[in-house]
Amino acid sequence: MALKSFKARTAAVAGAVAATALLSAAPAFADNPPYSGCPDWALCLYQDGGGKGSKVVVTPPPAGGNTKIVRLINTHFLNHELADNQVSSWLNNSQCQIEFWDDPSGELHPSDLDFAQSWHWGEKADYSAGTSKYYNNDRISSMRFYCP
C-alpha cells in the first residue's frame, strides 16, 4: 500500500509542477509579423508604424473603372479603437489607385496626404517616427479609390 501512495503523491506533485510551468510560461507565439494578414484585393490600414498593431481591412470597389470614397469616421481597427486620424502605415494589395486624404469633416476640399499608384500590388507606406513621411502620421481620415 505504501508503494501505491508514494506513486500517487509523486504523480500529484508532477502534475502540480507541470500545471505551474504551463501557467507561468510565456506565450508560444509572438505578435503578428509586420504587414501580416492583409488579403488579396484589399487595402490594410495599420494603427502602428511598420505595418504593426491592429488593422482595418478596406475592400476597394471591383475593377473596371469604378471609384469609391471611404471615410474612416465610423471605422474601427480590429481592437475596436476608432481608425479616423489613427493610421500610421498601410499596405495596398489591390490594383487600385488610392488617394489618402486628411478630410476630417467630409468636406469637398480634402488635403491630399499620400498616393498609391494603380497596379502596384504590395505597395506600402510608413508614417512612424524617423520616416520621411512622418508628417502624415495619424492624419488619414478618408481615401478615394480608382480601380482600372
Query: Domain residues of the chain, as ranges?
Result: 43-147
CB 142 within 8 A of CB 84: no
- DSSP states of 66-108: EEEEEE-TT-B-TTS-B-TT---EEEE-SS-EEEEEE-TT--S
For the stretch 82-108, pLDDT in tens is 999 999 999 999 999 999 999 866 666
Top-confidence residue, 30 or 142: 142
Predicted pLDDT at 49: 97
Return d(Cα 119, Cα 104) in angstroms, integer.
28
User: The domain 43-147 belongs to what CATH superfamily?
Assistant: Crystallins (2.60.20.10)
Cα 35 to chain center, whole Å?
7
The SS3 call for residue 145 is: strand
Pairwise CA distance, residues 133 & 116, whole Å = 14
